[in-house]
Amino acid sequence: MLTNDNKLHQFIHEITPYFIQIRQKIHMHPELGYQEELTAAVVAHELKQMGLDVVTGVGGTGVVAIIDSGKPGKTVALRAELDALPMTEMTELPYKSSHPGKMHACGHDGHTATLLIVANALCNFKNSFKGRVKLIFQPAEEGSAAGAAAMIKDGVLEAPAVDAIFAYHNYPGFAVGTVQTREGTVLSGNTNFTITVYGKGGHAASPDLNIDPILIAATLIKNIHELKLESGQIMSVTEVNGGSSKNIIPDYSALGGTLRYSTLTDREHLKKQLITLMNETALAYGGRAKIELIDHYLPTVNSTAETQHVFKIARNLLGNEKVGLKQKISRAAEDFSFYLAKVPGCYFFMGNGENSASCHNSEYDFNDDLLVDAAELLCRIAMDYLNNDITL
């Protein structure tokens, strides 16, 4: 570990109150994906105040900066998200969202503040490591907008090439500062589907003369619900549309939903199952159907060496009792998966408090008590990785 452990901890502890104010400012002014102009400007300003060269507009509204130790070595990337959710905040916080219909309900404001603390600390302790740390402030993680893919397309993993990447997400329901993750798949991939069912419309008083696409859609929903799936596989219907009049059987109806899976093999299997079920159900009633499938996020797959590195550093910093194995793959999806498909790394979780409202809840708030531990852990993950050859 580092020789100046206490100094690093004390430095982070001293600067955190300032960045709590930054976090709460960002919370008050939430911005949706690819609209994070103010948030990106705040981030860029803070990084420039640290003496860093800043690149803006990466992947749309992303911000990137590099902390160079001046000594040859690897490059580690650390990532935080900038975007908020299209929700109305229902808290009474003094810094609650000032924009109805927009809210930081997933803690991205806290992740951004964490990475700003890390940036400040690493700038002041860059004599303690070799190589470079690339800071990635990413737009549009939410809603399948794939800000990570946009940043990769703009070359965020290049010049210099990233050797490993790390990020964390706050974890409501668990004690502040506790850490969980796992090797391999840690979050699911997601594919959205839209199915259009075609029948034969006509007067509602003569159903025997028609082919009812609403009946076909309803039966298909029932068949999907009763489908026996393997562990970790999800097939959920979330949208249903059809008809516009009480006395007309329409010509078509539509339904939509999502597939969740832990491997790409599972993804293809789920697609085939859904297509077969759709065709069989429509044919049974004399109708037909078509499907549109859109793959959004890949499964988030942690590499072995980098995950063990996170476990080691977290145990050294926080103690064995605060670090555990995440037992189940999360059904949520994350575009950090796109980074991990290109370079090794680890995505981990840190407790946001046992009484924290869940993410994507209108009463959620990031717990500022998490900032010191999260920032110090990310600092040590990066510094130790750069100072030691992490191999399988």
From the candidates 31, 36, 46, 83, which is the catalytic residue? Answer: 83
CA–CA dist 102, 171 (Å, integer) = 21
Burial of 219 (0-12, 13-18, 19+ CB in 10 A): middle
Q: Which residues are CB-neighbours of 344 under 8 A, at least 6 positions away?
A: 163, 164, 165, 303, 305, 306
CA–CA dist 166, 312 (Å, integer) = 14
Cβ neighbours of 176 (radius 10 Å)? 20
Active site residue 83: yes
Nearest to 125 by CA among 383, 314, 381, 371: 383
Q: Which residues are CB-neighbours of 5 under 8 A, at least 6 positions away?
A: none
Burial of 275 (0-12, 13-18, 19+ CB in 10 A): middle
Q: Which residues are CB-neighbours of 365 under 8 A, at least 6 positions away?
A: 27, 91, 93, 356, 357
Using DSSP's 3-state secondary structure scheme, residue 360 falls into coil
Angle between helices 37-49 and 5-28 (to 10 degrees): 150
From the candidates 36, 46, 141, 373, which is the catalytic residue? Answer: 141
Active site residue 68: no
For β-strands 164-171 and 75-81, DSSP reports them as parallel
106: Cα within 13 Å, side-chain hemisphere: 23
Which amino acid is located at 129 in the chain? F
Q: Does the N-terminal peptide bond of residue 207 adopt cis geometry, omega within 30 degrees of 0? A: no
Locate the DSSP E strands across 155-213. Answer: 164-171, 179-181, 184-198, 202-203
Burial of 243 (0-12, 13-18, 19+ CB in 10 A): middle
Q: Active-site positions?
A: 83, 141
